[in-house]
Amino acid sequence: MVEKWRRMSKKKKWTILGIIIFIILAFSSCNAFGDDENEIDTEEQEQLDAEKETEEERLKAEEEEKLKAEEEEKRRAEEEAQRQAEEEEQRKAAEAEAQRKAEEEETQRKAAEAEAQRKATEAETQKKAAEAEAQSKAAAEAEAQRKAQQNQQSTSQSFQNCTEMRKVYPNGVNSSHPAYESKHDRDDDGMACER
């Protein structure tokens, strides 16, 4: 009861006090005027009782309305807190997803860089191998050309004697060589103009 009295607004308190004072004064005045005036009409008493009851009902209704408003405010505050918690959870989930995507993109970028590096290294290796093969072919072709020129020179040349042949072939030539002539092989051992 004391708690209800504390929670009431000043206006309600003054209204109740006014009614109580009015009732006290009404009873006091009844006693002051003697027995004749002590007899209040039943109607007037009923009217006062009705007014008092109406005022109490009004106060009670106001109190109930205030409690309902407080409960509604509390419910709204809880809903707002829950909504904010859900929004915070969604924000954190979105941040985590963004971070996961960023890490995944970084991993893919690093993998792509590593793959590009591997391909570049492989291309460089292939290029070097191709260059080495080209150089090898060029050297083989040059050697083949040299030998062909040498063979052409030897077939187109005919040596009068071993002295001339030794100027070109200091150790002589064997019987499979194009410059071989039997006239230069005096001992018939398959070598012409050997020393």
Q: What is the DSSP letter of 48?
A: H
pTM: predicted TM-score of the whole model, two decimal places: 0.34
More confident position, 112 or 156? 112
Query: How many CB atoms are located within 10 Å of the residue 172 CB?
Result: 18
Q: What is the DSSP letter of 193?
A: S
pLDDT score of 3 more than 80: no
End-to-end CA distance of the chain: 146
pLDDT score of 69 more than 70: yes
pLDDT score of 186 more than 70: yes
Segment 113-153, tens digit of pLDDT? 999 999 999 999 999 999 999 999 998 888 888 776 666 65
More confident position, 59 or 143? 59
Q: How far apart are CA 134 and CA 195, in angstroms?
A: 40
One-letter amino acid of 75: R
Structure tokens at 121: 């290294």
Mean pLDDT of 70-95: 95
